[in-house]
Amino acid sequence: MSAAPAKGGREWWRGAVIYHIYPRSFADSNGDGIGDLAGITAHLGYVAALGVDAIWLSPFFTSPMKDFGYDVADYCNVDPMFGTLTDFDQLVERAHGLGLRVIIDQVFSHTSDQHYWFRESRSDRVNPRADWYVWADAKPDGSPPSNWQSVFGGPAWAWDARRGQYYLHNFLTEQPDLNVHNPAVQDALLASARFWLERGVDGFRLDAIDYAMHDPALTDNPPRVRDERPRTRPLDFQQPQHNKGHADLVAFIERVRALTEQYGGRFTVAEIGGEGAEPVMKLLTQGRRRLHTAYGFNFLYADALTPALVRAALEAWSDAADTWPSWAFSNHDAPRAVSRWAAPADRAANARLALLLLLTLRGNVFLYQGEELGLPQAQLTFQDLRDPEAIANWPLTLGRDGARTPMPWMSSASYAGFSTARPWLPVPAEHAALAVDAQDHDAGSTLAMARRFIALRQRHPALRYGGMRLLEASSAVLRFERSFGAERMLCVFNLGLTEAHIEPPPGSWRPIESIGGATAWALPRLSALIAESA
């Protein structure tokens, strides 16, 4: 069963607003302190009321949880901590009944070292899955086959005495990289994707998909030119040119798209991060045989929201008329945007300004759970950390746990209504004060404005589907036009901390949305105005 067809015959995903749910932290239904599928199902009415088009679920598959589900031990089952396949089927049925589509992660670049594929592959060099992972002999001096470094720190190679070889792991040692150059591996991955398509999912986010194919020659990566950017990991000292993004990846991506096309109306989005990612993003989303879109990282680690940042993100896609971008300001891997972009006193105003900007950009919108509440980054002690990257790099890398704390539902309830037991991560008091029930019936709340801005986007084709023309990106003022057919909309943002004025634009314009006290054409600090051509 799939959700209802898109209105007007348009592709439902184009310009869609997709709500990102991190299952461990959304809602706990059984009192064990960990969110689960049944908890998500129970709160889908809240998500639907936001006005979004779909949900994206981070991994809920069987896993030893070394990387909290991104180390998959069984692609075709639900980890018991999250529930059962029946729970998943009920979630999909409920979501579709509410008009929500369901997107799930597919982790095609690596598995857990507990996956039976890897257990067999490492047993010797002649077993049926011997070439399912990336194995290589040591150099004559016993050192790793190349200089590649892992995302989580240290060499991207681990020695395995069973085979007398190294295996590649671009992430944790417990996350061996699949050899996706191998057609049998591709077939197995596509079979797992088909399993979920048959259960009614509406699409896939392909996690770290550029890491799915490496240079088979194992060429060393070149060093990175020294600049002002911090170097907190060995990875930061080199350009990752050869351990990911191999040209053969395109043919596999086309196989993924061909599979989803068999089911009609399905959606695919790539996660491709790192500096200079746009060329790979465009390559994997060109035409109608590859992925629909790619998930941009332009805003996720930026320390300030400026017109220059927005201009750079938009210009990176200006030469790609046949591709469609996707944007996110926060997610489960990055510190929450409101804490990166605003002083505590300005967080409420900044949260609303950022929401309106996100929802007026051309492309798809990914909204992370709690972003609609204006949640700041949680400040955790070392003892509270669970993220292996944060623990290994303390105190320099703090992002992921502080963005993954439980969703606050009820301000006065124990653990903010997330669970009846102590949660796996603490619920900060400042989050409880911003809980859903504290904002739900307040017309001036961030939650109310999020609903209003999503409705604005859904109501105006120019905002959802239309083209975009950048008019101004000064030190503080951002101004652009969205258009679709005869509909034209002017979007003006003052991202600065002092009042700004703009010259009245040519023509007749009628304001339809204003925040922060903006009027035509005076904009107080942290304010915005949306107007339509009269």
Mean pLDDT, contiguous 10-residue spans, the chain (534 residues): 57 97 98 98 98 98 96 98 98 98 98 98 98 98 97 94 97 97 98 98 97 98 84 88 95 98 96 86 92 92 96 82 88 95 97 98 97 96 88 76 97 97 97 98 97 98 95 97 96 97 92 95 96 94
- Quick check: 188 and 180 in contact, CB under 8 A? no
- For CATH 2.60.40.1180, the residue range(s) in the chain are 468-533
Which pLDDT score, from 0 to 100, does residue 449 have?
98
In this structure, what token pair is assigned to residue 163?
């085979």
Q: Do the bridges between strand 467-473 and strand 500-501 make them parallel or antiparallel, or are there none, so unpaired?
A: unpaired
Cα separation, 158 vs 160, whole angstroms: 7
Q: What pTM was computed for the model?
A: 0.96
- Quick check: 19 and 52 in contact, CB under 8 A? yes
Architecture of the CATH domain 7-109+183-457: Alpha-Beta Barrel (3.20)
Which pLDDT score, from 0 to 100, does residue 270 have?
96
Which pLDDT score, from 0 to 100, does residue 228 have?
73
Query: Residues 53, 113, 271, 401: which is the catalytic one?
Result: 271
CATH class of the domain comprising 468-533: mainly beta
Which pLDDT score, from 0 to 100, does residue 156 have?
98
Active-site annotation holds for 271: yes
Which pLDDT score, from 0 to 100, does residue 319 have?
62
Q: Measured between alpha carbons, how far is residue 446 from residues 76, 354, 417, 438, 452 in Å? A: 38, 11, 19, 11, 10
Element at 260 (helix H, strand E): helix 249-261
527-533, strands of its sheet edge to edge: 467-473, 477-484, 487-494, 527-533, 509-515
- Which of 248, 236, 245, 241 has the alpha carbon at shortest distance from 219? 241
- Angle at the Cα of 337 from the Cα atoms of 286 and 379, rounded to 5 degrees: 135
Residue with tokens 């029930």: 437
Cα separation, 452 vs 385, whole angstroms: 35
Cα separation, 192 vs 409, whole angstroms: 34
- Quick check: 235 and 241 in contact, CB under 8 A? no
Query: Residues 87, 174, 177, 207: which is the catalytic one?
Result: 207
- Quick check: 214 and 244 in contact, CB under 8 A? yes
Q: Do the bridges between strand 54-57 and strand 17-21 make them parallel or antiparallel, or are there none, so unpaired?
A: parallel
Task: Give the start-end residues of each E strand in 86-211.
Answer: 101-106, 135-136, 157-160, 165-168, 203-206
In this structure, what token pair is assigned to residue 299?
């805003």
157-160, strands of its sheet edge to edge: 135-136, 165-168, 157-160
- Quick check: 134 and 166 in contact, CB under 8 A? no
